Amino acid sequence: MKQVEADVAIVAAGPAGLAAAVAAAEKGARVVVFEKSSVTGGCGNMAMGPFGVESRLQKKQIVGLTRDEAFKIHMDYNHWIPDARLVRAFIDKSGNTIDWLEDMGVEFIMAARHFPLSEPTWHILKTHGGAHGTGAIIFKALTERAEELGVQFFFNAPVKKILKENGRAVGIQAVDATGETVQANAKAVIVATGGFGGNAEMIKEITGYEWGKDLFSFKIPGIEGEGLKMAWEAGAARTHMILEMYCSVPRQGDFWNLDVVFRQPNLLVNLDGERFFNEEVFQNNTFAGNAISGQKGRCAFMIIDDAIKKQYVKGNFDQICFDIPIEDAAEFDDELERATEEGTRDFFVADTIEELAEKAGINVDNLVKTVAEYNRACASRDALFNKNYAYLKPIRKAKFYAGKLVPSGFGSLGGIKINHKAEVQDDAFNVIQGLYAAGTDANSIHADSYTFIMPGNTMGFAINSGRIAGESAADFVDSLA
Ligand SMILES: Cc1cc2nc3c(=O)[nH]c(=O)nc-3n(C[C@H](O)[C@H](O)[C@H](O)COP(=O)(O)OP(=O)(O)OC[C@H]3O[C@@H](n4cnc5c(N)ncnc54)[C@H](O)[C@@H]3O)c2cc1C
């Protein structure tokens, strides 16, 4: 068995683990990182940008909110269920973290809103050509900085176990790329394996959703809940765990045109053919996911007619979906044809409402009644949910279309209990000396839904809690000297 000596051993090099590595090394700690895949950055490589408040960029652009305001919004939205000290520590650090990344050469275009009713907290990355970039830019810069500071990386090296002695975390065991066990003896350990969003069994056991049946979230390979299991085995308390949920058409990435059209604020019905949601709220896609999750079969159908479709085909959307990488839905018909050929049973077209309901498996009589009621509302007002008049478009002109919407999402949230210094706590709220956790594994700052109104907050939490964990671990190492 190989042996490595370090001050801080870090489990994974995703956004949280990598930020932790740089932060600990900047404080002078000798750091070793074990990453299961062959690259750094984890899911963050696909992300568009992290959360920040009171960053230099926001001050320059005169946008954004204060840390106090962001804290209040977060705590009120989450009914003061999360640990307020942890939320405060994350928010307080977030602006400085954007500046920290800028000082490493990362460029952000702007602090943006995801949708009109959200806050401008999302720091969108800029490529060298000036276009929208992805989180990969951040993780390239952090990796270079880590290497410059002498951080040692093991890739293709999944960690299997946290080592403890006299109640303290003293290292980890991993298997390296050659299959040999490597033991890192360290004074502190940081766990950051990104939750269980890629593990269908854990999703079912913890959240009750069946991936591929009533959940169509990103299932990123390698994100298997290993850090959670290791930390729990080492005595960490469990927090509540949720999905970072939103809603979309099934297989969203294969059908962007259908996704963008069927996520506009038009008539939404459940299998009983009844409305259950103010479609205007669709812009907070997490709320839409919650409402759909409560319906029969955990699904819903958006109904449009040909006139509405034509508007979107030209790119005249009623609501902008910032996360959908297309500017019009010109390929709507092609995608519909492909979906039908593939036998998806998720998208339907018909000459009458009755035929549409029949094809989609929606209660026919009820849908006919609902469409008639909805069309009357379009001519007066929506007495049921008071939807904004601007979004009341009648369903009149054949052909008629129905698109299925289902709970979807980025992954999981929560699992390992930490305090505001990212120290792991046991069931009795005692700190497990030398053990830290960060990122998705420890993201318990959302109550039952993630705080979509302040965009960028999950990768933001990962990077900031990682930084906090790295700094705390380095301080702990110093305290032992
Ligand atoms: C498509 C997509 C878009 C997104 N967009 C945004 C966005 O714009 N803004 C935002 O805030 N968030 C976004 N997110 C969420 C964001 O990516 C996550 O919040 C963030 O990546 C979490 O960081 P993490 O370090 O906790 O975990 P991850 O990024 O999941 O990284 C975990 C790492 O752990 C490694 N690992 C797992 N098990 C082991 C083991 N046993 N040993 C060693 N290594 C292990 C994995 O290989 C991986 O590298 C997006 C997510 C997806 C999927």
116-164 pLDDT tens trace: 889 999 999 987 666 677 899 999 999 999 999 999 999 999 999 999 9
pLDDT-based confidence at residue 377 (cuts at 50, 70, 90): very high
- Which numbered atom of ligand 1 lies nearest the CA of 230? 41
End position of a domain, from candidates 351, 383, 408? 408
Label residue 350 exposed, middle or buried (CB < 10 Å: 0-12, 13-18, 19+): middle
* pLDDT of amino acid 140: 97
Separation of 162 CA from ligand 1 center, angstroms?
21
**Do 236 and 249 belong to one domain?**
no
pLDDT of 335-374, one tens digit each? 999 999 999 999 999 999 999 999 999 999 999 999 999 9
Separation of 56 CA from ligand 1 center, angstroms?
26
**Do 399 and 420 belong to one domain?**
no
**Do 132 and 281 belong to one domain?**
no
Separation of 15 CA from ligand 1 center, angstroms?
6
**Do 190 and 121 belong to one domain?**
yes
**Do 271 and 333 belong to one domain?**
yes
- Which numbered atom of ligand 1 lies nearest the CA of 441? 26
pLDDT of 198-212, one tens digit each? 999 999 999 999 999
pLDDT of 282-291, one tens digit each? 989 999 999 9
Give the distance, in angstroms, between the CA of residue 127 and the centroid of all CA atoms in the same chain: 22
**Do 132 and 194 belong to one domain?**
yes
* pLDDT of amino acid 54: 97
* pLDDT of amino acid 128: 63
Separation of 174 CA from ligand 1 center, angstroms?
20
* pLDDT of amino acid 324: 75
pLDDT-based confidence at residue 300 (cuts at 50, 70, 90): very high
pLDDT-based confidence at residue 321 (cuts at 50, 70, 90): confident
What is the domain count for the chain? 2
Chain mean pLDDT for the chain: 96
**Do 333 and 418 belong to one domain?**
no
Q: Does residue 325 have a pLDDT over 80?
A: no
- Where residue 195 falls (left for φ over 0; alpha for ψ -120 to 50; beta otherwise) is left
Cβ < 6 Å from ligand 1: which residues? 11-17, 34-37, 42-44, 46-50, 158-159, 192-194, 218, 220, 222-223, 226-227, 410, 439-440, 456-460, 462
- Which numbered atom of ligand 1 lies nearest the CA of 45? 17
Separation of 84 CA from ligand 1 center, angstroms?
24
**Do 269 and 225 belong to one domain?**
no
**Do 291 and 420 belong to one domain?**
no
Protein residue whose Cα sits closest to atom 37 of ligand 1: 193
**Do 399 and 430 belong to one domain?**
no
* pLDDT of amino acid 442: 98
Between residues 13 and 252, the one the model is more confident about: 13
pTM, rounded to two decimals: 0.96
CATH number at residue 302: 3.90.700.10
Q: How far apart are CA 395 and CA 368, in angstroms?
A: 11
* pLDDT of amino acid 326: 83
The CA-CA-CA angle for residues 277, 279, 282, to 5°, reads 105
pLDDT of 252-283, one tens digit each? 889 999 999 999 999 999 999 999 999 999 98
The CA-CA-CA angle for residues 29, 34, 36, to 5°, reads 155
Q: How far apart are CA 410 and CA 197, in angstroms?
A: 7
**Do 18 and 83 belong to one domain?**
yes
Separation of 142 CA from ligand 1 center, angstroms?
15
Mean pLDDT over residues 305-310, rounded? 98
Protein residue whose Cα sits closest to atom 38 of ligand 1: 193
* pLDDT of amino acid 225: 98
Label residue 407 exposed, middle or buried (CB < 10 Å: 0-12, 13-18, 19+): buried
Separation of 396 CA from ligand 1 center, angstroms?
44
Partner residues linked to 161 by β-bridges: 173
Q: How far apart are CA 240 and CA 445, in angstroms?
A: 10
End position of a domain, from candidates 379, 408, 437? 408
Protein residue whose Cα sits closest to atom 50 of ligand 1: 47
- Which numbered atom of ligand 1 lies nearest the CA of 43? 29
Amino acid (1-letter code) at residue 19: A
**Do 124 and 197 belong to one domain?**
yes
Separation of 410 CA from ligand 1 center, angstroms?
9
Sign of CA dihedral 159, 165, 170, 176: negative
pLDDT-based confidence at residue 405 (cuts at 50, 70, 90): very high
Three-state secondary structure of the chain = CEEEECCEEEECCCHHHHHHHHHHHHCCCCEEEECCCCCCCHHHHHCCCCECCCCHHHHHHCCCCCHHHHHHHHHHHCCCCCCHHHHHHHHHHHHHHHHHHHHCCCCEEEEECCCCCCCCCEEEEECCCCCECCCHHHHHHHHHHHHHCCCEEECCCCEEEEEEECCEEEEEEEECCCCCEEEEECCEEEECCCCCCCCHHHHHHHHCCCECCCECCCCCCCCCCHHHHHHHHCCCCECCCEEEEEEECCCHHHCHHHHHHHCCCCEEECCCCCCCCCHHHHHCHHHHHHHHHCCHHHCEEEEEEHHHHHHHHCCCCCCCCCCCCCCCCCCHHHHHHHHHHCCCCCEEEECCHHHHHHHHCCCHHHHHHHHHHHHHHHHCCCCCCCCCHHHCCCCCCCCEEEEEEEEEEEEEECCECECCCCEEECCCCCEEEEEEECHHHHCCCCCCCCCCCCCCHHHHHHHHHHHHHHHHHHHHHHHHC
End position of a domain, from candidates 355, 381, 408? 408
* pLDDT of amino acid 266: 98
Range of the domain at 352: 245-408
pLDDT-based confidence at residue 111 (cuts at 50, 70, 90): confident
pLDDT-based confidence at residue 114 (cuts at 50, 70, 90): confident
- Which numbered atom of ligand 1 lies nearest the CA of 47? 5
* pLDDT of amino acid 129: 63
Separation of 24 CA from ligand 1 center, angstroms?
20
Q: How far apart are CA 416 and CA 438, in angstroms?
A: 9
Pocket test for ligand 1, best of 459, 461, 463, 464 (most atoms within 8 A of CB): 459
